Structure 1
Amino acid sequence: MAGNSEDEIISDDVKFGFQRPEMYELKLAGTATVYDRHVFLCYKSHEVWPSHLESSDSDPLPKLFAATLKARRDDIKLKTILTICEVREDIGLSDGDVLIFPDMIKYRNLKESDVDAFVEDVLVSGKPWTSGPQETISGSYVFVCSHNNRDRRCGVCGPILIEEFSKAIESKDLTNEVHVAACSHVGGHKYAGNVIIYSTDKEGKVAGHWYGYVTPDEVPILLDEHIGEGKILERLWRGQMGLHTEITNKVNELSVLSGTTVDKKGNAPVETASQGCCQGAAGFSCCRDANAEGKEVEKGQGRLPSCFRKWDQPEVYTAIGVVGAVAVVAVAYGFYKKSR
C-alpha cells in the first residue's frame, strides 16, 4: 500500500483489514481444506497474480501444472492440493521451484515441458524426479494468503502479516529456522488473515496447521508457542492436514446430540425439529425442572435461582453456542494431540 494516503490505509483496514466488521464472526474449527499432501509452485510475485492464477492464459506454468494434476487426479493416491507461493530469493525460493509437504522436499526450476514427467514421477509414482535432484528442506514454513486480485481482504491483511513475521523472525534470531512467504488462494478469504504453518514436532513428524483471523498481535504467539513449543492457538485454529474429515464428522455428531444447529453466519444455535435443548450441549442442559419451577435452593446465606429460570431466550442460545464452540475446538484439538 506504498504511496497511499493515511486516510486510504485506515479505510482499507476498516473495510478489508483487521478492523472489518466480519472479523471473528464465524467458527473456524473444521474449515481447512481436505487434503493429505500440499504442493507449492513458486511463481513470480503475489502483487502480479491474476484472480484465477491456475487458469490464466498469461501464466502457462501454473495453468499447466493445475490442469495436469486435475487430469491425473484418479492416479494420485494421496489427496494433493496445489498452491502458488511467491518467489523469495532471500529464503531460497526461485521461479519454478516446487515444495512438497509433509515430505519436506524441494525441486528446482520446473518448466512447462517438465510438468507431465514431474507429476508422473513424483506425485503419481512416488519416486524422485528423473530430471532434477531432490533437496531436503528443514525448519518451519509459514505461508500467508496475500492474493489481492482474488480477494481484497487477503490482499490487505497478508502483506502486513508477512512484514510482522519477517520482523519477529529477525528479532528472535530465527532467520535460518523459520521461513515466510505469500501464497495464493487457499479457501476462506472471509477468515483473513489466513496462515498455514508447516513445521516438525518433537517426534519428527511434519504437520500442516491452518489458522484464520490472524492479526499482527498473534504473530509472536505463533512463533513462540506453535513453532517453538508445539502448542495450538485454539481460538484461531481452522484445522490440520489430513484431519478435516474426522473433525467434521465429530462436529456433526455434536450438533445432532445437542439438538442444535448453527446458521451459515455462525449465529447462535436454534433448536432442531427432532430434539429440544434439553439434550444439552457437551453435557450442558438449559432445561427447567418442571417440579422445581419457582423453587430456590439455599446455599449459606444466599439463594440460587433454578437453572436459567431468569435467563432470556437469547441468553440461553448464546450460552449453548459458547459451550458448543468449546466442544468443537476440544474435539479438533484432541485429534491433533493423538496424531503427534
Structure 2
Amino acid sequence: MADLSRSIPAGGPLAAPVSAAPTLDLEAELQLAGTVPHYERHVFLCYDGPDWWPDRIEDADPDCLPGCLDTAIKARRPNLKKITRFNICEGKDGSELSNGDVLIFPDMIQYKGLTCSDVNDFVEEDTCERHCVVSWISSDCVDKRCHIFGPSLIRKFLEEIKVQRLRQLTVSACSHVGGDKYSGNIIIFGPDSKGQGAGHWYGLVLPCAVRYLLCKHITRREIVDELWRGQMGLTKEQQKEALKLRNRENARSSDLPKEKHDESVLKDQNQTSSRVARFETRERAWTALAVVSAAAVVFFASRVYKNPN
C-alpha cells in the first residue's frame, strides 16, 4: 500500500486552494494502480437505509427485495457471462432515488420501482440479455475504520459540495464495496473523452483531499493519478499500463505551465474508510459518489439518466 506520509507536511489545518494536488512519487502511485479487481458493470439497488440492510446480502430475507433479487440472479448465473458488482444504496420514497430503483453503470440506466413480483422479468430482460453475471458484494465491513472515519468524509463532501456550489450533487448511502486496505475508496462513473461510460477508482482519499478531488475529477474531468487505483473494465495489468502511459504523456507536456502543488491537501492522512461512486448518463447527467461508513454513501449529480421503462 502506498505510503502517503511522505507527502504530508507537519503544518496546520488544510488551507489549500481547490487546485492543489496531493503528491506521490511514481513508485507510490504504482502501488495503488492495479488494485481494482477486473469487472465490467456496477449495479446499485436503491433500498431503504443502512439500518435496514443485511450484514451480508446473501443472508437477506428472501421475501425482501435484496433477497428476491439475489435469489433470481443466482438461479440464472450459469447463463450469464459478464462480471458485475452489485451493491445496495439508499432509497427514499418520493425522492429521485426511490425504493426499488436500480442504477446500472456504465450503461447509465435507471430502472424505476423494481418489486419482488417483477424481479424475475427484470433479470431475464436486462441482466441476461446483457450477458451479465452479478456477484453480490457484502455490506459488512471487516475493517472498523469504515464505521469510525466514514462519516467525517461524508460530511466533508457535503461541505465542499455546498462551498463549490455543486448543486447538481445529492447524497445517498451505499453498501460496502470492499478494499478496506485502501480506506477512503471512491468510484467515479461518467463518460470518458470518447463519450463512453467509464468507472474510475481512487484509494486513500481523506476529507482533506475532497476539495481537490471534486475540483479536478468532477469539475475538470481529469484523472487524479496520485490517488488512482484503477478502472472498471481493465485488468490489473492494464490499469498499471494506463497510469504509466499518462505519466509519459505528462512528461512530454512538461513544457506547459505547471499547476502549483500543495502537499497539505493530504495532511492528517489517517486510515479512513470510504467509498464513492460517480454516475453520469447520456440523457440526464448523474454523478454518484459512494463513501463507506458502516455501509457507504453515494452522491448523485448532474442527473441525466436513461429510463428504459
For Structure 1 versus Structure 2, the TM-score category normalised by the shorter chain is 0.5 to 0.7
Residue of 187, 196, 201 corresponding to 2:192 = 201
Report how far residue 115 of structure 1 moved.
1.2
Is 2:127 the counterpart of 1:123?
yes
Matched residue type, 1:227: I
Q: Structure 1: any 5+ residue segments left out of the alignment?
A: 1-23, 128-144, 252-327, 336-340
Distance in structure 1 (CA, Å) of the matches to 2:157 and 2:225:
19
Deviations 1:249-296 (A, max 9, x none): x68xxxxxxxxxxxxxxxxxxxxxxxxxxxxxxxxxxxxxxxxxxxxx
Distance in structure 2 (CA, Å) of the matches to 1:183 and 1:193:
14
Where in structure 1 do 4 or more consecutive aligned residues deviate above 3 Å? 88-91, 145-151, 331-335
Q: Which has the larger radius of gyration?
A: 1
Give SS of 2:190's match: strand
How many residue pairs match? The answer is 217
| Counterparts in 2 of 1:88 and 1:149: CA distance versus 1, 3 Å | farther
Determine if contact 1:150/1:185 at 8 Å carries over to the other structure: no
Determine if contact 2:189/2:200 at 8 Å carries over to the other structure: yes
Determine if contact 1:40/1:99 at 8 Å carries over to the other structure: yes
Matched residue type, 2:97: L
Residue of 154, 157, 167 corresponding to 1:175 = 167
Residue of 45, 63, 66 corresponding to 2:67 = 63
Distance in structure 2 (CA, Å) of the matches to 1:153 and 1:105:
32
**RMSD after superposition:** 3.3
Deviations 1:118-148 (A, max 9, x none): 0110111149xxxxxxxxxxxxxxxxx9957
Is 2:139 the counterpart of 1:111?
no
Q: Structure 2: any 5+ residue segments left out of the alignment?
A: 1-27, 132-136, 250-309
Determine if contact 1:33/1:187 at 8 Å carries over to the other structure: no
Residue of 154, 157, 165 corresponding to 2:149 = 157
Deviations 1:135-186 (A, max 9, x none): xxxxxxxxxx99576542222233222222122122222222x344322121
Matched residue type, 1:223: L
Determine if contact 1:29/1:237 at 8 Å carries over to the other structure: yes
TM-score in terms of structure 1 length: 0.56
Report how far residue 38 of structure 1 moved.
0.8
Distance in structure 1 (CA, Å) of the matches to 2:102 and 2:143:
24
State the identity %. Answer: 46
Between Structure 1 and Structure 2, which shows a larger proportion of helix residues? 1
Determine if contact 1:158/1:182 at 8 Å carries over to the other structure: no
| Counterparts in 2 of 1:151 and 1:330: CA distance versus 1, 3 Å | same
TM-score in terms of structure 2 length: 0.61
Distance in structure 1 (CA, Å) of the matches to 2:94 and 2:31:
36
| Counterparts in 2 of 1:90 and 1:61: CA distance versus 1, 3 Å | closer
Is 2:50 the counterpart of 1:50?
no
